[in-house]
Amino acid sequence: MSPPRLLVILTSLLPGTLCAHSFGRPYQLPMPYWMYIYGAMAALLLSFVVLAWLLRAERSHQPPPAWSFSPPHCTRLLKPLLQGLMLAGFGLAIASGLLGSQDSYRNFNMTFFWIVFALGASYASALLGNWYAALNPWQLLCQGVDTLHAGFCRGRFSYPQALAYWPALALYMGFISLELFADIRPLSLSVWLLIYSAINLLATFLWGARAWFHYGELFAVMFRLMAMMAPLQRDNDNGQWQLRWPFSGLLNQRVEHPSLLIFLLFMLSSTAFDGLRETSLWFNLFWADPFGVLSPLLGKHPLHAYIELRPWYIAYEVLWLLMSPLIYLGLFLLFLWLGKQLVGSALSLRELALRFGYSLLPIALVYHITHYYSLLFSDGIKIRALLSDPFGWGWNLFGNAITGRVPILLDMGIIWDSQVWLILIGHVASVYLAHREALRSFNNPRRAALSQLPMLLLMLLFTGAGLWILAQPLQA
């Protein structure tokens, strides 16, 4: 079989190309996708012009408006109930993986962890604030150990300042690598959850719960970043709740440490990479050997050595995944440097990166939502039925046990239109946040607008690339 024909066959078998972007059947866009890209770019450019015209320096220092209210007293009773449900959910997930069916669609733990927790909890944080701080199952586990062994959560050593958020970043990279490249089954998922629980217990024993769950526990860091964009937030000083504009929690904020900036960039780059690796372009860059690197070394076309090269291809993808936040960091620093040169700012590039870092969070959020939100409908909806038969043993505890995988597929037009709007909204929010920060940093509307021209170009590139990646399953 010739390499071109074999390439077509293998490309058509790319795992997850359609389901990851929720296009389960062919769909014809109402107009060419490049028109969507140009339209979104034009809207983004117009928003920049409007912001540069309307925003003034004196407003950039004002705190964002918020409306405070006291929650009903009965809501305080929900906290211990929800904590118990969270612990029970993870306990059932681990038990069902160890003892239950190894069919991923019949076992409770796969849907609970990957869909309900990893996806649902992220979006809940972006809506409801940092609820996870009170319901973190691993922190609750450590507190339980502390009741048996007093002082466990105090730690034995001071948390090294040099570590900062690097442990959370390393765990995050490991988590995404497992998600994308490992053949995770219910049993292996339970084993990994036990290993992660042991890591949290050991880290708490060494450095204390306060430091570890601020810097090291990856979901605590990730959900806290998501919560900064939430329209609902709890005021820890007086216990009241505040209602505010979405994304306004990022105003007047500065990234705490470069390690947190790279963590934030990995939130963005890992999602973009997940979409890119499922395109024919990415597949062909390796297997079609367009630069003639592999064929001379192998003595044959790479496709004829597919089985032997497959592990190397996975290692190749892992390497690009781990490098992806550094690539984004390089682009971010380059465009910040160009803005710095345009206005002659005395601020260091490191300081500018920390000041403007949070302006990228809305893009990370909308990328994540556009790529994965439909899985909540197609897979997450099964969690209710899986509760009737969590081990896949044929139980029907609540009369709604699953009898087959019947996903709910949203209309393709609705999915695509929502993706376009979400990408646009996220980038407009980022342009607004960056412009507000520029007014604070340079205290002059003209210099602020001038400094943001390179950042506007970067946002335009992100918009075009994001929509191009999302459109690839349709083009296929």
Mean pLDDT of the chain: 86
Task: Point out the least confidently predicted range of 120-134, 201-215, 288-302.
Answer: 288-302
pLDDT band at 16 (very low <50, low <70, confident <90, very high): very low
More confident call, 2 vs 278: 278
Whole-angstrom distance, CA of residue 139 vs CA of residue 93: 17
pLDDT band at 24 (very low <50, low <70, confident <90, very high): very low
Examine the pLDDT at 64 and tell me if it is beyond 80.
no
Examine the pLDDT at 17 and tell me if it is beyond 50.
no
Whole-angstrom distance, CA of residue 393 vs CA of residue 383: 16
Which three-class secondary structure state does DSSP give residue 104?
coil
Examine the pLDDT at 269 and tell me if it is beyond 90.
yes
Examine the pLDDT at 239 and tell me if it is beyond 50.
yes
Whole-angstrom distance, CA of residue 97 vs CA of residue 108: 8
pLDDT of residue 45: 86
pLDDT band at 328 (very low <50, low <70, confident <90, very high): very high
Condensed to tens digits (0 to 9), the pLDDT of residues 383-416 reads 888 999 999 998 988 887 765 445 566 777 788 7
Examine the pLDDT at 13 and tell me if it is beyond 50.
no
Whole-angstrom distance, CA of residue 37 vs CA of residue 49: 19
Pairing, β 241-244 against β 66-69 = antiparallel
Which residue in this structure is represented by tokens 């466990």?
A: 152
Whole-angstrom distance, CA of residue 358 vs CA of residue 253: 7
pLDDT of residue 291: 85
Whole-angstrom distance, CA of residue 450 vs CA of residue 446: 6
**Residue 406: is it exposed, middle or buried by C-beta count within 10 angstroms (0-12/13-18/19+)?**
exposed
Percent of the chain with pLDDT over 90: 53
Spell out the residues 6+ positions from residue 103 whose beta carbon is closer than 8 angstroms to its own: 186, 392
Task: Point out the least confidently predicted range of 72-81, 193-202, 293-302, 371-380.
Answer: 72-81
Whole-angstrom distance, CA of residue 396 vs CA of residue 375: 24
Cα R_g (the chain), whole angstroms: 24
Which residue in this structure is represented by tokens 């912001």?
A: 51
Long-range contacts of 25-30 (CB under 8 A, 24+ apart): 25/409, 25/412, 27/412, 27/413, 27/416, 27/474, 28/474, 29/416, 29/471, 29/474, 30/413
In 3D space, the residue among 200, 246, 241 whose CA is nearest the CA of residue 219 turns out to be: 200
pLDDT band at 71 (very low <50, low <70, confident <90, very high): confident
Which three-class secondary structure state does DSSP give residue 234?
strand
Pairing, β 232-234 against β 66-69 = unpaired
Q: What angle (nearest 5°) sits at the alpha carbon of residue 246, between those of residues 245 and 250?
A: 100
pLDDT of residue 27: 56
Whole-angstrom distance, CA of residue 58 vs CA of residue 60: 6
Task: Point out the least confidently predicted range of 41-50, 179-188, 226-235, 322-331.
Answer: 41-50
Query: What mean pLDDT comes out for the span 289-303?
Result: 85
Spell out the residues 6+ positions from residue 293 whose beta carbon is closer than 8 angstroms to its own: none
Spell out the residues 6+ positions from residue 144 whose beta carbon is closer than 8 angstroms to its own: none
In 3D space, the residue among 430, 422, 418, 417 whose CA is nearest the CA of residue 457 turns out to be: 430
CB 247 within 8 A of CB 433: yes
pLDDT of residue 475: 47
Using CA atoms, how far residue 230 sits from 3, 62, 131, 226, in Å, is 50, 19, 11, 7
pLDDT band at 433 (very low <50, low <70, confident <90, very high): very high
Spell out the residues 6+ positions from residue 31 whose beta carbon is closer than 8 angstroms to its own: none
Whole-angstrom distance, CA of residue 422 vs CA of residue 402: 33
